[in-house]
Chains A and B, each alone.
Chain A
């Protein structure tokens, strides 16, 4: 039996209702073979706010079959770019209409402040959908001159087919939009597995998918445990492509499963240990502000979190002062409190993980210049913590923490800075702060990262591509580049004049 959860919104008379079944073929249904549920928590209160059906691997089969059927009949090559554009725009309009409620639901399950969820996460998601709605009727191939007498050659940019999409818990709605928009624009159908920690907004958005008028089976939402639904999608023989955002460890498993099953196409957005370099010519106040953003935004739960900062010797002491006083202003608290800048960490597991790193940092001899003290309250709150006196061998310097924990080192020369920055298996983001334009050019050219920010950090635009070098990922999201991840090229050679002699 499929239920609707009614979740009360703190400090109001409102209740948000969410269908808690699996969303397949435009309907919310029970699992075909399991009675497992996933409990959803409010990380500020540690309380359960809802339970949703946990999809099994058989449910994944059902969802994939629905997506395949839609791809063969009502979507894929059976729907025009204009119709796809219209529907994606309609979906964006509906999300805009419901943005307050969606923001509150996001805060209840993820913890981030309501205003941030509404104005940034959801605001950007609406723009993302509209951006890709604009691409839907602009998918062009090429005509290629080979030989005008005998051949006409051209390419068709076809949708890949049924796409499995697995998204994380740090930006549930925004990551949903990044995945769904380009896939739909190009004509693919989707089986989406939202994070088991934060499935509620994906389910709520599924209601809007129906209202917007998408045919059944075009988008399917199957909340499930990673090692159940995620594994099933990665290994499924009838899924043409898998797109995953999450940890590098899980990314490896997904790529392995893809290789072992049907060589499905794989795109991955994985972890990072992104560095920021503060050169002596930098505007230190600004650099400190961007550094604070880099590690405190979303309470450090960001794949591009600027979690390592290297400061040039000559400005080191000054910068540390400015930085500590800037970061001190950060308010970590309940997402429904208007003064809160950042919410709690999303779960107990993440909370324990981050504390494990803070403890390791202290044990390995790094110095705490801010934070590092536990609160004794309910909720997975961690205050911004800054370590100095680091070395490259420390766990807190090498591994992705995914919390508001910053490691600060120092350098003398530009070459040293670049070497320190690149000394990682990751390559997602990097920032540099300098008012020497030639230096900016040189350094940005040498940093091994998919996104380099100059005198800025963490600001993205829907039309600029995003993704990782090295072990931070494969493929790009956003911009026109995302379309390539969901497009399959067919070259057509059309003989208009050649007569063949055999044997040659």
Chain B
């Protein structure tokens, strides 16, 4: 029996009611998991259970894949025209916009980010992303290549088929939009596993997808654990492609499983330990504000977090003083309070992880310049933290913390800081601050990162590609580039005159 989750929001920033099914969404219906077990959804502000949702098993993955396969062969895939897919995605965007506040509230409740950020960033950009890809759906072009008069040669960009998508808990709805948009625009059918920590907005989206009119089986949602459902998707023989956003560690497992099963196509968006380089000739006040945004936005739970801040010695002291004041002013509090900047971390697991890193920083001899402790006694709140006086081999300098922890490092030499910035297995993003635009551009071009921000940090646009170098990932999301992840190129060669 599938239950309904009902929640009354009565907060200073949002009053409203959410009420929706908590089942798996397969073939257009909400159903229980095959084992009829459930997963607790925890409110990270309090540590208490919000509700239970159905738990999927490997068997449910099979059922969902079959439904997706059937839809691909009948109502979707090459049986659906681009204009139709465009229309449905446009409808979905409109429905998300109608329910934007509710979605933002659910996101804040489930993930712990503030309602204000969820409205202005997460949901707004998610809607924009769906709309952006709605516009691509009828523009999937192949090429005609000139060979000679005896041949007609052309390429078709066909949908791949059934694709598996696994998304993380840090931007649940936004990551879902990044995955849905290009996959549906190009005609694929989806089996998606949201994070077991933050399933609520994904489940809410199923009703909107249904209302928008996507045929049953085109989109399927399986709430479940990585080690069961995620693993089953990664090694499924009938899933032709997997897209994963999450940790580098899990990304490796997924790629391995893909290789061992059916060599399915793999795209990965993994971690980062992103450098933010501030030169003496930076606009310092701006650099301070952007650096704070880089390290503390989303409670530091961003793969692009600018967690290593390199400041040139000429402005180091001034930067640190201003930066400390800025970070000190960030208000930690309830996600639904009017003036909160930062809510709790998303889960106990994350909370423990971050506190362990902070402890390691202390143990390895770094200076806790600000924070470094828990905030309050209930929920997973951590005070924004600044470390200084680090050495390059410290854990807090090498490894991805994924929390509100910034490391500020002094540097002198331009060549050396570029070398230090690139001295990491990661390569997701980097930022450069300098008013000398030539210097900024040439530095940015030398940084080994999939996104190089100049005089800004952590800005995303739906039409600009995003992804990692090195161990930060494979492939690109957003922009036209994302379409390549979800199309299979078929070259057709028509012989008009060669005689064998």
> A residues engaging B (CB < 8 A)?
81-82, 85, 89, 127, 130-131, 133-138, 140, 148, 152, 438, 441-442, 445, 462-463, 480, 494, 496-497
Contacts and interface: CB of A to CB of B under 8 A. Distances in A.
Interface string B406-445: 0000000000000000000000000000000010011001
A89 B90 contact: yes
Nearest to B82: A463
Interface of B: 82-83, 86-87, 90, 128, 131-132, 134-139, 141, 149, 152, 438, 441-442, 445, 462-463, 480, 494, 496-497
A480 B134 CA distance: 16
A134 B136 contact: yes
A49 B403 CA distance: 71
Contact of B86 (A130, A136, A438, A497): A130
Nearest to B89: A134
20 contacts: A81-B463, A89-B90, A130-B86, A130-B87, A133-B135, A134-B135, A134-B138, A137-B135, A138-B135, A138-B463, A140-B463, A438-B496, A462-B83, A462-B138, A463-B138, A463-B139, A494-B441, A496-B438, A496-B441, A496-B442
A130 B141 contact: no
A127 B496 CA distance: 36
A336 B265 CA distance: 56
A333 B132 CA distance: 44
A85 B441 contact: no
Contacts of A148: 445
A127 B135 CA distance: 11
B462 to A, nearest CB: 7
Given A135-B139, A497-B442, 17 more contacts: A81-B463, A85-B135, A130-B86, A130-B90, A131-B83, A134-B134, A134-B136, A134-B139, A138-B132, A138-B463, A138-B480, A441-B496, A463-B139, A480-B139, A480-B141, A496-B442, A497-B438
- Choose among A136, A148, A445, A496 the residue with the greatest number of B CB atoms under 10 Å from its CB: A496
Contacts of A137: 132, 135, 462-463
Contacts of A82: 128
The B contact surface, by secondary structure, is helix
Given A89-B90, A135-B139, A138-B480, A442 B496 contact: yes
A134 B442 CA distance: 34
A462 B139 CA distance: 10
A409 to B, nearest CB: 27
B496 A135 contact: no
B139 to A, nearest CB: 6
B496 to A, nearest CB: 5
A127 B83 contact: yes
Nearest to B441: A496
Contacts of A134: 86, 134-139
A138 B152 CA distance: 30
B152 to A, nearest CB: 6
Nearest to B494: A441
A125 to B, nearest CB: 13
B227 to A, nearest CB: 39
A93 B445 CA distance: 44
A480 B494 CA distance: 25
A83 to B, nearest CB: 11
B206 to A, nearest CB: 25
A133 B94 CA distance: 15
A81 B128 CA distance: 12
Contacts of B152: 441
Contacts of B90: 89, 130
Contacts of A442: 496
Given A496-B438, A496-B441, A138 B136 contact: yes
Contact of B480 (A130, A131, A140): A140
Contacts of B496: 438, 441-442
A494 B444 CA distance: 15
B129 to A, nearest CB: 11
A360 to B, nearest CB: 40
Nearest to B152: A441
Contacts of A463: 82, 138-139
Contacts of A497: 438, 442
Nearest to B445: A148
Contacts of B149: 445
Contacts of A138: 132, 135-136, 139, 463, 480
Nearest to B446: A148
Nearest to A438: B496
A148 B446 CA distance: 10
A259 B497 CA distance: 46
B392 to A, nearest CB: 28
Contact of B135 (A135, A140, A438, A494): A135
B444 to A, nearest CB: 10
A135 B191 CA distance: 29
Contacts of B138: 131, 134, 462-463
A442 B134 CA distance: 37
A131 B87 CA distance: 10
Nearest to B464: A140
A462 B81 CA distance: 12
Query: What are the 5 closest A-B residue pairs judged by CB atoms, nearest first?
Result: A134-B135, A441-B496, A496-B438, A463-B138, A137-B463
A312 to B, nearest CB: 21
A263 B441 CA distance: 38
Nearest to A132: B135
Contacts of B134: 134
Nearest to B463: A137
A303 B423 CA distance: 64
B45 to A, nearest CB: 33
A81 B132 CA distance: 10
Nearest to B83: A127
A85 B494 CA distance: 39
A127 B83 CA distance: 8
A290 to B, nearest CB: 21
Nearest to A439: B496
A138 B135 CA distance: 9
Contacts of A133: 135
A148 B442 CA distance: 9
A152 B132 CA distance: 28
A217 B136 CA distance: 29
B441 to A, nearest CB: 6
B450 to A, nearest CB: 15
Nearest to B133: A134
Contacts of B442: 496-497
